[in-house]
A = this chain, B = another copy of it.
Amino acid sequence: MKSKSVERDLSPEKTEAILDGAMQEFLEHGYAAARIDKIAVAAGVSKATIYRRFPDKESLFTGLMQQLACKKELFNSTQLQSAQGDVTAFLKSLANKMLNNVADDPQVLTFLRIIIGESGRFPELARAFVQNIEKPILEAMTQYLASHPELELPDPEVAARAFMGTLIHFVILRDVLHSGDIVPMERDRLVDQLVKLIIK
Which residues of chain B have C-beta atoms less than 8 A from A158's C-beta? 185, 189-190, 193-194, 197
- B30, B31, B127, B173: which contacts A179 (Cβ < 8 A)? B127
Q: How many copies does the complex hold?
A: 2
Q: Is A64 an interface residue (CB 8 A)?
A: no
A161 at the interface (CB under 8 A from B): yes
Q: How far is the CA of A138 from the CA of B173 in the complex (A)?
A: 12
On chain B, the residues within 8 Å of A157 by CB distance are 185
Q: Is the CB of A134 within 8 A of B193?
A: no
A44 proximal to B (CB < 8 A): no
| Contact pick for A117, options B114, B138, B190, B197, CB 8 Å | B114
Q: Does A1 contact B (CB under 8 A)?
A: no
The reply to whether B155 and A165 contact each other, CB–CB distance below 8 Å, is: no
A32-B30, A190-B161 known; A115-B169 Cβ under 8 A: no
Complex interface: chain B residues within 8 A of A176 (CB) = 116, 119, 126
Residues of A within 8 A of B (CB): 28-33, 109-110, 112-121, 123, 126-127, 129-131, 134-135, 138, 154-155, 157-159, 161-162, 164-170, 172-173, 176-179, 182-183, 185, 189-190, 193-194, 196-198
Q: Can you give 23 contacting A-B residue pairs, CB < 8 Å?
A: A29-B121, A30-B118, A110-B120, A113-B119, A116-B117, A117-B117, A126-B179, A130-B173, A130-B177, A130-B179, A130-B183, A131-B179, A131-B182, A135-B183, A157-B185, A158-B190, A158-B197, A159-B197, A161-B169, A161-B170, A162-B166, A162-B197, A165-B166
